[in-house]
Structure 1
Amino acid sequence: MVSFKKKFLFLNVKENWYHCEPGFWDMLMPTAWLHVKNRKTPVKPGFSDVTYTIENDLTLDHDTIYAGFLKSNRQQIRQAEEAGVEFEFHNDVEGFVEFFNEFARSVNIGTTSVRRIKEMEGFLKLSYAKHQGRILVAHSTLIDDTYKIVRAFHSASKRTDDAFDKSLIAKANKALHYKDMMHFRELGYKVYDFGGYTQNTEDKALLGINNFKQSFGGEVVACTNYYTVSYQLLKKVGSLMGALGKG
């Protein structure tokens, strides 16, 4: 199961993914249980909310998974491969952080750090789509060896850089999601989690993200996040999105 600590000021904040089995000390400390499906947990922490994501079933055979993609996705994946886009899996943390932060600043989202990535060591894998030696797209994936779930976590690209072919980058990004799925399927993982779905939104940007994730043929799944009182207080005081999140 996924469980790691993040440093916030002088406190260790603990995050658990996919399970909620709190111990006595967990209930007292700043602790979160995220994307939980065993919703009949015997002890429920102080706060909770329901969120949604999109999941692809990796226990299906390759052809069935691939056939579930939109036809345009399959075409663009093939075009990326024909254009010579190459795909790599390695954990160059410093290189990934530099690439991601450059993208994050260009689109005004939170950055990350080597420390934040290394706090998740053993649970986070990195993948890249490259063309002629240059990185077009980079992903990080959160992995759970107990429940055999992999979750798309970070995604960055050169799409805001005018020196790069934006059409090729879009194709490479779709192809990298496909390669991520197949890579982890071969390693025995059962679920590819796209990392969130915004329910009942009219925001065009969020609808675009939803449509992108749904274009790979997965299903919308509900889950529950649980938080202790101290975690919720830190969230308010320290602005979790910046202080405890991916940044």
Structure 2
Amino acid sequence: MIELNHRKKLMAINLKDIYFAHSIIKEDPGYDVVYYFHCNEQGPDSTIFNTIFIDLKQSEEEILNQFNKTNRSLIKKLFKNNDFNIAITDCPTETEIEEFVEFYDMFAKKKGINRADKKLLYRLNDISSLSIGKAYHEGDLLSSMVFIKNKERVTGQYEGSGRFFFPENPHKVKMASKANRILEYMCMLHFKKEGLKIYDLGGVTLDPNDIEKANIDMRKKGFGGELVKEYHFMYPLTLKGKIFIYLKKFSEKLRRNSK
């Protein structure tokens, strides 16, 4: 479990983030609201988070053998040809975090998704719970991933691809797709060597009606593993916390209705 004690909001609310909890903590003196991420127990008004776990207690050969045929063949070929330079950093420097954020935010802008939460990355790094993986091809950064980890588990938080950055170079676009796969596998091996037990692929939508998301799900499912359901939610610990959550949800509802 990871705890981030960090924020005071309006109404002098004390908040905490908890990642990877097995169950809800009913009492925590000094805090009004806890944000749970990747919790095993379902909380009030939970958002379901479906994801895929890879068992890192397996041997390297067993991990590779559970991949689908396409991923196994591709990774073996990339190893043979030595096409990519892989760099995986635990407790990255400020420069490395800033470089990742710049890369990811460019990718996010192209995709029309939210930018990276830089403050979160720094706070995680302060407690040695952040790692960054990068895959280079001919000096160009084509894939980069950020992970949240504790002593047992590692979870993919952000994954950026360089495929949008070379519109006039189809070969680079194709290599960016390969970079994501080889980097994913090399990160599995890296965290296995660190003694971690679970590699979380960072979520699947299971939405067949969204073609782009379904394709991402298919890529992740190509690594094998076990489909797991977890929960994200806010949990009040005080009356003040209950009021804060009510007002927050009411505000979000108004914002959605105004669109």
TM-score, reference length from structure 1? 0.83
- Say yes or no: does 1:65 pair with 2:67: no
Partner of 2:84: 85
Which letter maps to 2:83? Answer: G
Instruction: Describe the SS at the equivalent of 1:35.
Output: strand
Partner of 1:153: 157
- Say yes or no: does 1:15 pair with 2:40: no
- Residue 5 (structure 1) shift: 4.2
The structure with the largest alpha-carbon Rg is 2
In structure 1, which of residues 234, 238, 241 is the aligned counterpart of residue 248 of structure 2? 234
- Residue 234 (structure 1) shift: 3.1
How far apart, in 2, do the equivalents of 1:144 and 1:235 lie?
Answer: 30
Point out where structure 2 has 5 or more consecutive residues left out of the alignment: 236-241, 254-259
Partner of 1:3: 3
- Residue 7 (structure 1) shift: 4.7
> What does the per-residue CA deviation read over 1:96-135, in whole Å, with 9 as the maximum and x for residues that have no partner?
1111111111111111253331022221210100122221
- Residue 233 (structure 1) shift: 4.2
How far apart, in 1, do the equivalents of 2:181 and 2:246 lie?
Answer: 36
- Say yes or no: does 1:142 pair with 2:148: yes
Bigger mean CA deviation after superposition, 182-191 or 128-137: 128-137
In structure 1, which of residues 209, 225, 231 is the aligned counterpart of residue 232 of structure 2? 225
Partner of 2:48: 50
Bigger mean CA deviation after superposition, 56-65 or 114-123: 114-123
* Alpha-carbon distance change, 114 to 105 in structure 1, aligned in 2, over 3 angstroms: same
Partner of 1:168: 175
How far apart, in 2, do the equivalents of 1:232 and 1:61 lie?
Answer: 48
Query: Are the aligned partners of 1:13 and 1:231 in contact in 2 as well (CA < 8 Å)?
Result: no
Partner of 2:214: 207
C-alpha root-mean-square deviation of aligned residues, in Å? 2.6
How far apart, in 2, do the equivalents of 1:130 and 1:26 lie?
Answer: 47
What's the % identity of the aligned pairs?
Answer: 24
Aligned residues: 232
Bigger mean CA deviation after superposition, 76-85 or 95-104: 76-85
* Alpha-carbon distance change, 78 to 24 in structure 1, aligned in 2, over 3 angstroms: same
Instruction: Describe the SS at the equivalent of 2:46.
Output: strand
Query: Are the aligned partners of 2:24 and 2:43 in contact in 1 as well (CA < 8 Å)?
Result: no
> What does the per-residue CA deviation read over 1:22-50, in whole Å, with 9 as the maximum and x for residues that have no partner?
2534796232122222x3xxxx8643343
Query: Are the aligned partners of 2:116 and 2:158 in contact in 1 as well (CA < 8 Å)?
Result: no
Instruction: Describe the SS at the equivalent of 1:202.
Output: coil
Query: Are the aligned partners of 2:52 and 2:225 in contact in 1 as well (CA < 8 Å)?
Result: yes
TM-score, reference length from structure 2? 0.79
Partner of 2:33: 30
Point out where structure 1 has 5 or more consecutive residues left out of the alignment: 240-247
Which letter maps to 1:154? Answer: Y
Instruction: Describe the SS at the equivalent of 2:48.
Output: strand
* Alpha-carbon distance change, 16 to 159 in structure 1, aligned in 2, over 3 angstroms: same
In structure 2, which of residues 135, 154, 166 is the aligned counterpart of residue 129 of structure 1? 135
